[in-house]
Structure formats: C-alpha cells, structure tokens
Structure 1
Amino acid sequence: MHFKYFVLGASVLFAQASPSAAQTAAQSTSEHSVHEAVPAANTPLTLDQAVEKALAANPGLRAAALDVAIAGGMRRQSALFPNPELSFVREGTQRGTRTQTVQLSQVLELGGKRSARIRLADSEQRLAAGSLDAARIDLRGDVTIAYFDALAAQERVRLAQASLDVATKATMAAAKRVAAGRVSPVEQDRAGVAQASSRLEFVEAEAKATVALYKLAAYWGDTSPPQHSLFMPDLDLTPPPPLAELERGLAQAPRVRRARLQIEREQAQVGLDRVQRIPDVTLIVGSKKDDEIGRSQTVVGLSVPLPLFNRNQGALQASLARADKAQAEFDAERLRLHQALADAHQRAQLSREQVRSMREEILPAAQRVFDAAVTGFEAGKFGFLDVLDAQRTLLQIRTQYIQALYERYRAVADLGRLAGTGAAPENRTTP
C-alpha cells in the first residue's frame, strides 16, 4: 500500500503548514534558507540590517546628501562681496605725449541684494536638507516593501516546492497502482498533468523570488542577490491609529515639509528678483598721468546703469509664477498624501481582518477538509481526485494567506512612510 504511505506523508506535510503548527513552520522559515536558489549564510539578514545597508550605500541617497553639500557651497558664495576691478588705459604711443590711467572700480550693491541672495541660499539649503530627510524616509519604506516582497516570494517557493513534492509522490504512487492493475491508466495521466503543472509553478516562483532578491539588493548598490536568508519579522495585528490622528500629524510629514520649503525657496527668489530691478553703482577711483604736461591727476567717478529697457521684469514675472506653482504643488501634494494615507489605512485594516480570518477560520477549515479527504480515501469513500482537489484548495488558501500577510506588512510600511516615522515591524519570529 505505497499510496497509503504517500497520503499519510502528504497529510503530515500539510499539517506542518496549518495554523495549529504555524509557530513551527515560521521558525523553520526564519532559521533556514527557503530554497537553494537563495544561498543561506550563517547569519540571517534582518529588516533593520537591510534598511541600514541601504541608508549607508544607496546611490540615490548619496546624491541627495551631495545636494546638501552643494547648497552649503552656494550659501557661502552668496555672502561674498563683488570683486574690485583694476584697469590700466594708455592713450597714445609716443613718449612725451601719451597719457596713462590706472583706476580701481568697485560695484556697490544697492537695495539689499546681498541679504536677499543670502536668504535665497538659506532657503535652498533648508530645501536640500528637507529633500534628504524625505529621501531617507522614502528609502526606508521602499526597502521595507522590497524586503517583504522577497519574503513573500521565498514563501511561495516553499509552497511550490511542497506542491511539487506531493505531486511527484502522487505520480509515483499512481504508476505503481496502474502497474498492479488496481486503477485505470487515466489516473496516472492525471497525476502526471498535476506534477507538470506544479513543476511550472515552482519554476515561476523561483524566478520571481530571484527577481525580488535582486531588487532588494539594488537598494544598497549590489548587483547580486543577498547571500543571506531573510528573517521573518513579528506579525503585528494591532489596529492602526485612527485616520484622523494620522492626518493631524501629516503636516509634519517629510514630503509636506519639503513642499513647504519649496514655497519658501520660490518666495526668496521673488525677493531677489525684485531687488535686482534696482541698479548698482560702480565707484571708480584712479590716477591719470599726462606725459605731455608732466603731472598726474586723480580720477574719481560713478557709473550707474540706466534701467530704460531691462528692469528684470521678465525674471520677476517668472519667479512670481514659480511661487504660485510651488503653492499649487504644495496643495496637490497635501491632497495626494491625504488620499494615500487613507488608502494605506484602509489596506492596513482590511489586511488585518483578512489575516486574522484566514488564520483562525479559513486555513483550519481547509486543513480539516484535506484531512477528511485523506481519511475518506483510505476508507475507500473518496477517489484520488478528491484528495488532489483538497490539496490544491489548501495550497491556494495558503498562498492567499501569504498575500494577505504581506499586504499587511506593506500597508504598515506605507503608513510609516506617509506619516514620516518610517516605522517597520520588529524583527521577531512570527508566532
């Protein structure tokens, strides 16, 4: 009765994935590599470690940090005064009749141009720092989601491997029963079709897991997947804070602060363009030597441009429009964040109920159906197809449970990113 042993083994296999043994299955997943395609290391890669690696080596974040350094240099440059200009002029070529003039010119900025320029540089410096903060929060959220996507993909590989193992054993058992003349060859063909389908699902799951790991490693600049197993964080089914409470804190979210700083920057640009309409005065001091009369004369003068045509009116018009655009973008960003926050809050609530319902009701029921099908097959009440249908249903529900589980993780990560906390589940084994 080789097939009887197969059915008993399959029952044990799926019992390990049931809610009654969820703790054992989760601990096994967190302590060992889920598949040979992802080489395991002695130390698993936790979510916090993945985030720290990305914060330390992400190229995009380095670029944002360099923007801060660039803004610092521009702030230093904005405080500098215009350089004086030294000029030398010779009139005539014959000695005794020529004149030589040496003069020093200094531009005197009027209208508060220097202070306006400094205000603009200060606002750009604050904007660069705000953009860096927002980039850190976004990167933390992106890495968190990529980490959970990789965990979900690896879990699907494990389930696909379990399905392939069961289908392989079923095909072998069916072949033996056909050889013994106990069942029709059609049973063997059906088992073979199920095995081929499971093999395709396993290959597809492997490919998706590899892609997910490459995507995760790319956040810290690696072109190869991490050579570590991933650690399953704790499953937190605590209800999210009320949406109204999260919306009250949205005003301090990094993206909102960055949009507000952009408005300040454009307003500072308006101030600079407005004072640029005031012409500067150039002070000229020098000495003119006349060889013909044999004496030198002091040269003192002022140079003032006449603002007849260019009064910086076009630049001022453009900066005023950019300030209005920044305000409109701030309003749009705030509205978009409110919508995204409401969406993430709703997904967090929905996925929480899905996970709870599947863990407490649906998965145990599917396990009982599978156990009953196995028992009925042993008693001769059900056929082999009934066992396969029960097995397929259990695998589908288990896959849906994984999807709901990681939708919960992703929703929590989105809430942390939008609220500006960047919070992520703790790295403890799921109970």
Structure 2
Amino acid sequence: MPSSFRRPPRFAAGCAVAAFAAALSGPAWADPAPAYDALVARLAETPLITEAGALLDAAEARVRQARVRPNPLLGLEAENAFGSGPFDGYSNAETTLSLSTDLELWGRRGARVNVARAEADTASRRAVLVAADAAGRLALYYAEAEAADRRFRLASEALTLTLADTRASLALVEEGREPLLRGIQGQTEAAAARARLDEAQAERDAAFARLTGFAMLVRPVTSIEQSLLDRAPALAVSDTRPAPAVLVAEAEREAADRRITVERIRARPDVNASVGVRRFEAEDATAITFGLSVPLPLFDRNRGNVEAAQADFRAADARLQGARQEAEADRVAARARLASAASRVSATDSGVESAEEAYRLSRIGAEAGRISQLELRSSRAALIAAQNAALDSRLARVRAEIDLARLDGRAPFGAVQ
C-alpha cells in the first residue's frame, strides 16, 4: 500500500491525541462544592427561603394589627356663630367637643383576627413547602452537577479508549492486516468522541453554574468531592402525615371559611357611639351629649361579597380534595420509582462489570488477532452505554428520593434543614 495513503490516518490519530491532551488540560486548581448536608443547612440564606420567611413575618404582623381596635374620632363642632342678628359673633354659639368610636358589635374584631390567624397559618405551612421544594432543588442541582462531572470523565475515558483502539487499528493497517477503511473509521470515531467530550464539558460547566448560583456560593464550583449519586436513600415506609401541599390547601380552605363569617358580619349594621361636651355661650353653661349612629341597610347588604366568599370556599375545598388525591397518588408513585431505581442501580452496576470484562477480553483478542476490529468497537460501545446507564440509574434514584422527600416535607436523604 502506498505510504501516501497510510500517513493521513496516522497523522490524524496524532492530532487526536494532542487534542485530547488539550481538552483535559485546564487550571491546576479545583474548587470543590461543600457537602450536600452543609448546603442544606445554609438554605436559609437562599432567596426562596428568605422570601417565604418575610411573607410569614408579614402575615404575623397582620395578626397583631387585626387585634388592634379602631381609633376613636375626636370632633369639634361650633353652631350658631358668626351669623346675623342675635347670632352675630360668638356670644350665642354652641360648641360641642365629641368623641366617637366604632363599637365593633356582632364579633367583628374576633372574625377579623380569625381570618388573619388563618392567613398566618397558611403562610407558615407554605414556608414549610417552600423549604422542602428548595431542598429538593438543591439536591437535584447537586446530583446533576455530579452526574455532569461524571459524564465528562466518562467521555474522556471513552475518547482515551477510542484513540487507543484507533492506534491499534492503524498499526494493523500499517502491517497490512486491516484495510485502510478501518483507519478511516477509527478517525471518524475519534472525532465523534471528541465532540461528545466537548458537549459533556459544556453540560458540566452549566450544571456547576446552576449549583453555584442556587446555593449562593461565593466562588464557582468546579468539582464534586462528596458524592450524592452513590448515597442510597432509606427504602423504609415514608411519613404518613399529609404532604405540605395538602397542609397548605387545608389552611387556605380554613381561611376561606373564616372569610365567609367576616362578610356575613359586614352585612350587619356598623354601630357607632359618641359622647361629648357642649358649651352654650349665651347661658354660660355646659351639657353632655351622647348618641348612637346606625346605617340603614336599605341598599347594600353585602350579599355579593358573601356569595363571593362562599364561592372562594368551594374553590378552596375543591383544591384541597384535588391536593389530597394527587399527593396520595404521587407518594405511591414515588415509592415505586425509588424501589425500581434502587433495583436498577444494582443491575446496571453488574452490567458495567460485565461490560468492562468483555471489553478487556476483546482488547486482548484484538491484539492477538483473534477478534476483529468491529467486535472490539462493539464491546467498547457496550461498555460506554453500560457506564452511562449506571449513571442514569443513580440520577433517577436521586430524583425519586427528591419527589418522595417533597411529599414528606423533608430534605432529601434525611439531611438536616
């Protein structure tokens, strides 16, 4: 075979080796992410938890405000002054200083406080839900970052194996034991492996950036030292308490029920009482005044607001029923997915061991000339697929644990919140 047809594949393999070395070269330092449990303990610093805490503080402040009685009204009124005839000037004037206030009859204040308390309870339960969601997102970003880092390493390993097989294939081509097509195929596979490595590197950088941003870390994360993918969650029966979403729906239903009472009370007359002192300038005398004022419910009886509150209650009750059904179904599904994922992890780990042994024997056979290059490529592809399947099974196990932990109102993997 002419040498001019043999050099390009060998030159391409050399370029591939150089490109692989350049791809792996990078900063000598690496800033590892803090442990997952440590990040969970710092979730209070994240904007999600901060916002939920602020909303809870606002709701509790509204409870305190609801307990406050309305301010009395101080009035000063002058009559029969600065007119004409006997009312010229101020000598015959009548001056009244009065103090009036809303009596808040019919349980107005108590109903108002009950609504504020129900809304504060809703905010409190929603804060628990937000905390569980935040812990779940943190676990997901942490696991995805670790998975992306492992995929990058697998892609690097796959490129190393591909280049090694390509070099072996080129050696056989040099010896005339394999056609030139095998060298060209090896070059194509090496290029595809380099492309997958570049894609894996981009995914890894993006996953590290998401973890850094959500965890509010000062320095960008560049590596994962403490694994979450290898951390097996407990398969015991999860908590039987209602899911946080159900608790929120229950609190919202209770608040809607109490608003109906408030609107019904508003339909009753708002009674105001007043007491004062009147000064009679002409007689140089004073007298006490007192009175009650009650609006006549001729037109506005608050029926629209009562009906609206009742409709809101029916909607809240429907949401509660839906939340209960959905939570129960999701909990059963999450338990099933978690058990299935745990079994899948064990199976894929066994598959990786078998694929590694098969590839090792294929390499030995190919070097001895007993196995063709096509069989070697097939065993290498099977090994790469098995390694990625094992990684996917671990990520699926983490996601199933995240779903179950969110329904239980806890941090995934039992981390302390």
Normalization by structure 1: what TM-score?
0.82
Do residues 115 (structure 1) and 110 (structure 2) align?
yes
Match of 1:219 among 214, 217, 242: 214
2:358 alignment partner in structure 1:
369
Q: Secondary structure at the match of 1:89?
A: strand
Tell me, in whole angstroms, the C-alpha distance in 1 between the residues paired with 2:278 and 2:176: 123
Q: Where has structure 1 moved over 6 Å in runs of 4 or more? A: none
- Aligned pairs, number: 386
1:424 aligns to what SS in structure 2?
Answer: helix
After TM superposition, list the pairs within 5 Å mapping 1:218-367 onto structure 2: 218-222=213-217, 225-233=220-228, 235=230, 240-241=235-236, 246=238, 249-360=239-350, 362-367=351-356
Mapping 1:1-400, distance limit 5 Å: 40-41=30-31, 45-53=34-42, 55-91=43-79, 92-93=81-82, 94-175=89-170, 178=173, 183-222=178-217, 225-233=220-228, 235=230, 240-241=235-236, 246=238, 249-360=239-350, 362-400=351-389
Contact 1:234 1:426 in 2 (8 A): no
Amino acid at match of 1:309: F
Q: 1:35 to 1:256 in 2, by over 3 A?
A: farther
Distance in 1 separating the partners of 2:336 and 2:123: 33
Q: Secondary structure at the match of 2:288?
A: strand
Q: Give the whole-Å Cα distance in 2 for the aligned partners of 1:308 and 1:37.
A: 81
Asked whether the equivalents of residues 250 and 256 of structure 1 are also in contact (C-alpha less than 8 Å), the reply is no
Q: Deviations over 1:22-68 (max 9, x none)?
A: xxxxxxxxxxxx99589623x65211122223x12210111110111
Aligned residue type for 1:281: V
**Would the alpha carbon gap of residues 152 and 207 (structure 1) be closer, same or farther in structure 2, given more than 3 Å must change?**
same
Structure 1 residue 139: deviation in Å?
A: 1.2
Q: Which structure: larger Rg?
A: 2
User: Is contact 1:78–1:114 with CA below 8 Å preserved after alignment?
Assistant: yes
Q: Label 1:381 to 1:175 Cα distance change in 2 as closer, same or farther (>3 A).
A: closer
Q: Deviations over 1:372-406 (max 9, x none)?
A: 21121122122223222211110111101110122
Query: Separation in 1 of the partners of 2:380 and 2:34?
Result: 33
- Output one character per residue of 1:254-276: Cα deviation in whole Å (capped at 9) or x when no partner: 22222111111111211222222
What is the RMSD computed on CA atoms of the aligned residues? 2.6
Change (3 A) 1:349 1:369: same
List runs of 5+ in structure 2 lacking aligned partners. Answer: 1-23, 83-88
Q: Which amino acid aligns with 1:283?
A: A
Residue in structure 2 matched with residue 5 of structure 1 by the alignment: none
Q: Give distance in 2, aligned partners of 1:408 and 1:267.
A: 41
1:234 and 1:425 in contact (8 A); partners too = no
CA deviation string 1:60-91 (max 9, x = no partner)? 11111011110111111111111111112233
SS of corresponding position for 1:82 = coil
- Deviation by residue 1:284-324 (Cα, 9 ceiling, x = unmatched): 22233344454444322211111111122221111111111
Supply the distance in 2 between the matched residues of 1:331 and 1:251 (Cα, whole angstroms). 16
- Provide the C-alpha distance between the structure 1 equivalents of 2:284 and 2:147, rounded to a whole number of angstroms: 94
Alpha-carbon distance change, 426 to 103 in structure 1, aligned in 2, over 3 angstroms: closer
5+ residue gaps in structure 1?
A: 1-33
Q: TM-score, normalised by structure 2?
A: 0.85
**The 10-residue stretch of structure 1 (346-355 or 280-289) with the greater mean CA deviation from structure 2:** 280-289
Q: Do the aligned partners of residues 65 and 426 (structure 1) sit closer, same or farther apart at CA in structure 2, a change above 3 Å counting? A: closer
For residues 96 and 183 of structure 1, the distance between their equivalents in structure 2, rounded to whole angstroms, comes to: 128
